[in-house]
Structure 1
Amino acid sequence: MSGRSLMPVNGSSVHDPARQSPPFWETAFSGTDPDALSEILSTPNSPIKAEAKADAPIAYRCNFVATEELAIADCAYEGTISIRREAPSGKVIIFLPMEGDALFDAGKEHIHSVPGRGAILGAGRVSGARLLGPRRHLGLFIDQARINRHLTQMFERTIIGDTDFRPSIDLTTGPGLVLQQLAANLHYGLSGDGPLLQSPLALSALCDATIYLLLETCPHRYSEALALPAPAPAPRHVKWAIEFMQEYIAEPISLNDIATAAKVSVRTLQQGFRQFRDTTPMAYLHELRMLAAHRDLLESGTRQAVADVAVRWGFTHLGRFSAEYRKRFGQLPSQALKR
């Protein structure tokens, strides 16, 4: 199981400004010490503990490549290794085995992963694994926030929370086979002086293709909604209303203000949002403000108090704000502030 924040190659990104390539990182590790493996696989917000069975000898070799879009690891292990993630990682992690056995703990399910059978672990869950070497797999790491941005574009409404992918995936045929091939091509194309480093447009297209393949072919909580016919484009007055909300998001605007900006009656505005956004105008504005507060908390570190952020975005009841924030983002505002 992997999830390390990668350092740029040779201490600096291999980004070439002349090519306007995206930032890129590559790093590799090998060794026999379980504690060193724990450090390699951990991130500051999601520590991992690796242990060898009965102190028996182990060995590992891990190569990580990453862009701003996603990260891929090619990892090989010898011996029996237990791995436990002690806090959610914020990433959807897909394991694509090439050799050996592994048993993943995916909450209520235990996934037996062998060549031809992959595992998808959700971003919001603490998870563990038992690797039975010799074991080799590709690990694909995608930020849940990035997946949600793709879903937001597909639905034309804000998506938050875990996607809840079905944790087991068949890699022998169809979408699973294509996913494994995409991951292998991405890793090869980014390793060393790979060809994808010379073509940022091709790299971006392959990363997008990987995420859309997951969303459109692997079952998850939004699969049924994605299978429905796409709704008609939102009318102009709904778009004008949203633009007005975004421009004056921190101002005390009312439903009448929004309707006036959209050049329609309040009733027409409400009907438009129910039909094309599956919500009400004020609930949509509330969601925009909650997301703005979420971004503020993540970006401000400890420089601001939670109460100051809440008030800035119109949340005057701190207890209610904290409860709703936890329901939406899976943690208290104070926890997000310390990340």
Structure 2
Amino acid sequence: MADNDLLAGDAAGESWQHTTDFTQAEMWCGSALYPHQRLFQLDDPKQFFLRQRIVDAGPITISDITFGADVRMDCGSFHGTYHVNLPLSGRIQSEHRGTQVVIDPTRAGVYIPDGDTSLPLWGAGSRQLCVKIDRLAVEEALAAQVEYGSAPVDQQLLLSPSLDIARGAGRDWAQLVLLLRGQLARDDGLAREPLIARPLVDALIHGLLLATDHGGRAALAEEPVAAAPAAIRAAVDLIHALPAEPWTTAGLAGRCFVSVRSLQEGFKRHLNTSPMAYLRAVRLRHAHEELRAADPALVTVTSVATRWGFANLGKFAAAHHALYGENPRETLRRAR
């Protein structure tokens, strides 16, 4: 499933950690995953090495890890995070809460915060992204999607122990992880901007809830009830008052005391749009006004677009032209 474009930027640099010393590797790997875990060599020590890079954004940490020789990893029984091992190459044996899973580039391993966890065999040269998501962030994300008045959902989600990443929602979620990891690995990546990073993180967490099987799926399947006009007005007021805030649909819904899906349904019914589309329209107007007032010698279209949360410059230019009849560069050239 590795995509060459999404894996771009893998050239060695200061952000990579590389060692052939086993003690050093165990310490580094513990800092990336869990401090109490144990690592055991199963192969020729002369072939051993660890190569890893750690990036994080808010409640998500993504560790890109490769071992040069077969190892076994015991992770203990308490981790405090939901966790997905997303393989890029090779083969890894996994056991979590008594369930065994073979992880390869078609299937990821999924782990909940509690329960004995081990990787009896992490094959030589096998590379995987270890995605940790804070427990509270996942459980709050589910609570934000469930309709008020619905049957309560178990606090700790019993996620299915594996995820098919070769097709469907699982593959889409894996691609999103690769995108976020690639952006965070670059000092100039757009995900360094809060307006872009927060919606990506939010999408990754909510996407995991939609891609995996768990006890909360029944609640998510319930038909959403459109939020009342008062809640829609409150969300619209927040957007206009704080357009530069890194809003997500979940953030707006929480401030308006409705579920995510109720807010989405309410915007669709009353405004014929979505909360994020409405937000983009407001930000587009602010970006246009900034371009009109900017000094072309000091400001670029890219800097303005990025500041207002537009990660794709082509789509920004197209939306700007559709609304204002000219591309952003023309607006900037005419700026006073």
User: Structure 2 matches for 1:12-91, cutoff 5 A?
Assistant: 27-42=15-30, 46-53=35-42, 56-57=45-46, 58-91=48-81
TM-score norm. by structure 1 comes to 0.57
1-structure distance, mates of 2:138, 2:60: 10
How far is 1:29 from its partner?
1.9
Residues 157-209 of structure 1 show CA distances to partners (whole Å, capped at 9, x for unaligned) of: 68663211101111111111111111111111011314224431111111111
One-letter amino acid of the structure 2 residue matched with residue 68 of structure 1 = G
The correspondence for 2:98, drawn from 101, 108, 120, is 108
1-structure distance, mates of 2:223, 2:134: 27
Paired residue total: 210
How far is 1:27 from its partner?
4.8
Q: Which has the higher contact order (CA 8 A, sep 6+)?
A: 2
1:163 equivalenced with 2:151 (yes/no)? no
2-structure distance, mates of 1:171, 1:232: 33
1-structure distance, mates of 2:76, 2:15: 23
One-letter amino acid of the structure 2 residue matched with residue 117 of structure 1 = R
Q: Tell me the residue number matched to 2:124.
A: 133
How far is 1:42 from its partner?
2.4
1:222 equivalenced with 2:216 (yes/no)? yes
Q: Tell me the residue number matched to 2:280.
A: none
User: Structure 2 matches for 1:172-183, cutoff 5 A?
Assistant: 172-183=166-177
Q: Tell me the residue number matched to 2:265.
A: none
Identity across matched positions, percent: 21
Residues 102-136 of structure 1 show CA distances to partners (whole Å, capped at 9, x for unaligned) of: 00111121110011111111111231102011101
1-structure distance, mates of 2:94, 2:188: 31
Q: Is the 8 A contact 2:180 2:191 kept in 1?
A: no
2-structure distance, mates of 1:107, 1:69: 24
How far is 1:69 from its partner?
2.8
TM-score norm. by structure 2 comes to 0.57
Q: Tell me the residue number matched to 2:114.
A: 124
How far is 1:92 from its partner?
1.0
How far is 1:156 from its partner?
5.5
Q: CA RMSD in A?
A: 2.5
1:192 equivalenced with 2:192 (yes/no)? no
Residues 34-83 of structure 1 show CA distances to partners (whole Å, capped at 9, x for unaligned) of: 33222223259751110101663311100000121311111111111000
Q: Is the 8 A contact 1:62 1:75 kept in 2?
A: yes
